[in-house]
Amino acid sequence: MRGVLRGGRLSRLVPSRPVPPEPAAPGEVLAEAEDLRVRLAGRLILDGVGVHVRAGEVLALVGPNGAGKSTLLGALSADLTPAEGTVRIHGRPTTAWSAPELALRRSVLPQSASLSFPFPVEDVVRMGRAPWAGTEREDEDDAVVAEAMARTEVTAFAGRPFSALSGGERARVALARVLAQQAPLVLLDEPTAALDLRHQELVLRLCRERAAAGDAVVVVLHDLGLAAAYAHRVAVLRGGRVAADGPPSEVFSDALLSEVYDQPVEVLAHPRTGEVLVTPRRVP
Amino acid sequence: MTVLDKPARPAAPAQGTPPRGRRGTAWLLTAALAAGLLVLVPVAAGTGAYPIPVGDVLGSLLNRAGLGGTALDRVAESVLWNVRFPRIVLALLVGASLGCAGALMQGVFGNPLAEPGVIGVSSGAAVGAVAAIAFGFGFLGAWTVPVFAFASGLVTVLVVYVMARAGGRTEVVTLILTGIALNAFAGALIGLFLFFADTAAVNQITFWQLGSLAQATWPKVLGVLPCAVIGLGLAPLYARRLDLLALGERPARHLGVDVERLRVVLILVIALLTAAAVSVAGVIGFVGLVVPHLLRMMAGPGHRFLIPGSALLGALVLLGADLAARTVAEPAELPLGVLTALVGSPFFFWLLRRTRRRQGGWA
């Protein structure tokens, strides 16, 4: 049937299969933004941003509300067309990829997960496998879906409808769907917002594991402690520009964070482990 | 880390996979619907003012198919093949089109209350059909009314889509209000055409508007066949992409769906199906609303079953409704559209209340 459709005039209805990407070498740039300017509703949200996202690395985007973190993530995921500058994914401008090709190269976790119809949790996670339909790796679907659910601890309610879940459970199901997509570039917009302490740690451990397996992970975070503990590199955004970019131990300083957040902040080392801790300075 | 690593290692056995009850239900329902149609078609063919035993109906069918059986006497053959069968085929086509259009529309709008009748697309298609009848257009033969219905139906779906969407989603209130506005406008246009039409055309339109299959003939069947067959054939190809669309437009795009193209193609398909149904049978409401809903409650929201299933159940429901319409008040005939609205409206009420409760109010 598919062969007939491809050969005939209907071929445009069944596009040819996109080719999956080659595994990335460690350190390879999987996404980059150059001199990026993005306007939303007439307002300049990003004003000359440049970032590189490398394979094997967790990059955290931090900054105050309205700094442009989500917009930058949207540009990196090819949702937004920049007014100026370019965004490249796997070395090619985002506009040069088709939607199915992009789906094999980057996965995106949106800030809030919604669903129009009450699909059961397992079906939602399985939707992440859609880009692989018709490829050899389609056979792995069951195993990948089961593992993604196990890793995000949603297996227990795999049969329940998505609409019956709590906010935190939904967030984990959405993450499981993103993991099941197995794209080398993983973009997560505030994955920890709705989660309890234990699951926040779980999600960021998963990010590190994806990076260790050779993927590039970009994660928007509000919790600077989490960013300091789990990110290889942090990009601090302020007013649509990158205020600082580097390893958290170098970037996070009292002066920079206090200035960026317009709130006195103290950065100190954990007395026992030496980890970077970030805490607001409170007036007693 | 096992299979989530790349390159992939041998797959670990799936653990904790939930029972596949839903898929079993889908197969069972498909079989039940097919069986229902196989039973109801000969029964409907045999029932009426001139009763024909079901055995004779089957015999005549086999005879025409060249598989044995026996031809009936001249009158019975004529009743069966010139009156009953065209009507049955038409009921099946119209029902399948309405059911399928409802399922598609709910998927495209991501909204369980979308339905060609409710949001005004049927009325929009009716405007074209009425214009064609009122002004006596006939330059496209049996296809004139369907083509006009398709054109005005298409314009209406586009208008609904543009007007009822804001920020990538369709809110229930906006959708229903848009439907009210469109229904009013379409009603006004139809009234205007009626005003200019001559008496014969007015009678024809009035009867047609109530929704009826009474004037079924083979040429009419041929008239809607292209629209219905193309629509019903294309719809299942988009089932998986419609599932993904339930996540929202952006997530669907992230999973490789070309959302813009999907939308355009599906709106065309919806217009085709609605035109097929409306051009022969007038506005038959609520089939497209009730049918996908029942199936979703029984077999889950997956479109791979929902789309063909809605076509099957739509066909079954409309055949049953038409059988009831022509036998309940014998020798008179109830208008089919009136019957489906009588049964469908209370369901719509219930659905509205349930949706409202789930969302915690409209505003």
Q: Which of residues A181, A202, A236 is at a domain's end?
A: A181
| pLDDT of B8 | 40
On whether residue A138 sits in a domain, the answer given is yes
Per-residue pLDDT band for B145 (boundaries 50, 70, 90) equals: confident
Q: Is the pLDDT of residue A280 over 60?
A: yes
Same domain, A90 and A187: yes
- Size of chain A, expressed as the number of residues it contains: 284
On whether residue A261 sits in a domain, the answer given is no
On whether residue A276 sits in a domain, the answer given is no
Q: Is the pLDDT of residue B185 over 50?
A: yes
Averaged pLDDT for residues A248-271: 92
Same domain, A78 and A191: yes
| pLDDT of B360 | 58
| Residues whose CB is less than 8 angstroms from the CB of residue B35 and which lie 6 or more positions away in sequence, other chains included | none
On whether residue A134 sits in a domain, the answer given is yes
Whether residues B256 and A102 touch (CB distance < 8 A) is answered with: yes
Instruction: Report the C-alpha gap between B250 and B238 in whole angstroms.
Output: 17
Instruction: Report the C-alpha gap between B283 and A197 in whole angstroms.
Output: 56
Backbone angles phi, psi at A43, to 5 degrees: -100, 140
Same domain, A157 and A218: no
Lowest-confidence region among A13-22, B128-137, B263-272, B321-330: A13-22
| Residue of chain A nearest B240, judged by CA positions | A130
Sign of CA dihedral A19, A22, A24, A28: negative
Averaged pLDDT for residues B196-209: 84
Same domain, A93 and A197: yes
Which residue in this structure is represented by tokens 């246009």?
B189
CB B66 within 8 A of CB B246: no
Cis-peptide, bond into residue A23, ω within 30° of zero? no
| Residue of chain A nearest B4, judged by CA positions | A144
Q: Is B251 on the interface with A (CB under 8 A)?
A: yes
Same domain, A230 and A133: no
Q: Is the pLDDT of residue B122 over 80?
A: yes
pLDDT tens readout for residues A46-70: 999 999 999 999 999 999 999 999 9
Averaged pLDDT for residues B328-349: 84
CB A15 within 8 A of CB A100: yes
Instruction: Report the C-alpha gap between A32 and A50 in whole angstroms.
Output: 7
Per-residue pLDDT band for A168 (boundaries 50, 70, 90) equals: very high
A14 contacts on B by Cβ (under 8 Å): 237
Whether residues A149 and B18 touch (CB distance < 8 A) is answered with: no
**Burial of B68 by CB count in 10 Å (0-12 exposed, 13-18 middle, 19+ buried)?**
exposed
End-to-end alpha carbon distance in chain A: 73
Same domain, A195 and A170: no
- Size of chain B, expressed as the number of residues it contains: 363
CB B237 within 8 A of CB B244: no
Q: Is B244 on the interface with A (CB under 8 A)?
A: yes
Number of structural domains in chain A: 2
Same domain, A208 and A150: no
**Which of A73, A91, A87 shows the shortest CA–CA distance to A29?**
A91
Which residue in this structure is represented by tokens 């049955």?
B88
Averaged pLDDT for residues A163-173: 92
B258 contacts on A by Cβ (under 8 Å): 98-100
Report the 3 state secondary structure along chain A: CHHHHHHCHHHHHCCCCCCCCCCCCCCCEEEEEEEEEEEECCEEEEEEEEEEEECCEEEEEECCCCCCHHHHHHHHCCCCCCCEEEEEECCEEHHHCCHHHHHCCEEEECCCCCCCCCCEHHHHHHHCCHHHCCCHHHHHHHHHHHHHHHHCCCHHHCCCEHHHCCHHHHHHHHHHHHHHCCCCEEEEECCCCCCCHHHHHHHHHHHHHHHHCCCEEEEECCCHHHHHHHCCEEEEEECCEEEEEECHHHHCCHHHHHHHHCCCEEEEECCCCCCEEEEECCCC
| pLDDT of B2 | 45
On whether residue A90 sits in a domain, the answer given is yes
Closest Cβ–Cβ partner in A137, A179, A212 for B8: A137
| pLDDT of B196 | 87
Instruction: Report the C-alpha gap between B219 and B228 in whole angstroms.
Output: 14
Mean pLDDT of chain B, nearest integer: 84
Q: Is the pLDDT of residue A276 over 80?
A: yes
DSSP state at residue B68 = S
On whether residue A15 sits in a domain, the answer given is no
CB B14 within 8 A of CB A143: yes
Backbone angles phi, psi at B273, to 5 degrees: -65, -45
Lowest-confidence region among B65-69, B133-137, B171-175, B340-344: B171-175
CB B242 within 8 A of CB B267: no
Same domain, A222 and A122: no
Task: State the CATH number of the domain containing residue A246.
Answer: 3.40.50.300
B302 contacts on A by Cβ (under 8 Å): 119, 123
Whether residues B258 and A98 touch (CB distance < 8 A) is answered with: yes
Q: Is the pLDDT of residue A4 over 50?
A: no
On whether residue A2 sits in a domain, the answer given is no
Q: Which helix (H) or strand (E) holds B45?
A: helix B21-46
Cis-peptide, bond into residue B116, ω within 30° of zero? no
Q: Is B297 on the interface with A (CB under 8 A)?
A: no
CB B224 within 8 A of CB B146: yes
Residue B18's SS3 state is: coil
Q: Is B258 on the interface with A (CB under 8 A)?
A: yes
Query: Which of A10, A102, A147, A187 to probe the B interface (max B CBs under 10 A)?
Result: A147
Domain hosting A51: range is 27-105+183-251
pLDDT tens readout for residues A186-243: 999 999 988 999 999 999 999 999 999 999 999 999 999 999 999 999 999 999 999 9
**Chain centroid, CA B224 distance in Å:** 13
Q: Is the pLDDT of residue B187 over 80?
A: yes
Averaged pLDDT for residues A112-140: 90
On whether residue A7 sits in a domain, the answer given is no
Domain ranges of chain B: 116-285
pLDDT tens readout for residues A119-132: 999 999 999 999 99
Instruction: Report the C-alpha gap between B137 and B143 in whole angstroms.
Output: 11
Instruction: Report the C-alpha gap between B81 and B50 in whole angstroms.
Output: 13
Mean pLDDT of chain A, nearest integer: 90
pLDDT tens readout for residues B12-52: 334 434 445 667 888 999 999 999 999 999 999 998 888 89
| Residue of chain B nearest A99, judged by CA positions | B256
Same domain, A141 and A193: no
Instruction: Report the C-alpha gap between A202 and A218 in whole angstroms.
Output: 16
Q: Is A259 on the interface with B (CB under 8 A)?
A: no
Pick the CATH number of B116-285 from 1.20.1250.20, 1.10.3470.10, 2.60.40.1220, 3.30.430.20: 1.10.3470.10
Closest Cβ–Cβ partner in A102, A117, A147 for B3: A147
A171 CA to chain B: closest CA distance, Å?
13
Q: Is the pLDDT of residue B264 over 70?
A: yes
pLDDT tens readout for residues B205-259: 887 777 778 878 898 888 889 889 999 999 999 999 999 999 988 999 999 999 8
Per-residue tokens: B128: 């074209």
| pLDDT of B1 | 41
| pLDDT of A143 | 95
| Cα distances (angstroms) measured from residue A216 to each of A98, A189, A211, A280, B179 | 20, 14, 6, 30, 47
Amino acid identity, residue A2?
R
CB B276 within 8 A of CB B86: no
Per-residue pLDDT band for A16 (boundaries 50, 70, 90) equals: low
| pLDDT of A87 | 94
Buried b (16+ CB within 10 A) or exposed e, B185-211: bbeebbeebbeebeeebbeebeebbbb
Same domain, A96 and A151: no
B22 CA to chain A: closest CA distance, Å?
10
CB A68 within 8 A of CB A49: yes
Same domain, A47 and A98: yes
Same domain, A49 and A151: no
Whether residues B256 and A146 touch (CB distance < 8 A) is answered with: no
CB A124 within 8 A of CB A164: no
Per-residue pLDDT band for A9 (boundaries 50, 70, 90) equals: very low
| pLDDT of A184 | 95
Averaged pLDDT for residues A157-171: 91
| pLDDT of B280 | 82
Query: Which of B1, B2, B6 to probe the A interface (max A CBs under 10 A)?
Result: B6
- The angle subtended at Cα B281 by Cα B279 and Cα B285, nearest 5°, is 105
Provide the number of CB pairs (under 8 Å) joining chain A to chain B: 132
Q: Is the pLDDT of residue B115 over 90?
A: no
**How many Cβ atoms are within 10 Å of A214's Cβ, its own excluded?**
18
pTM: 0.85
**Which of B161, B152, B166 shows the shortest CA–CA distance to B119?**
B161
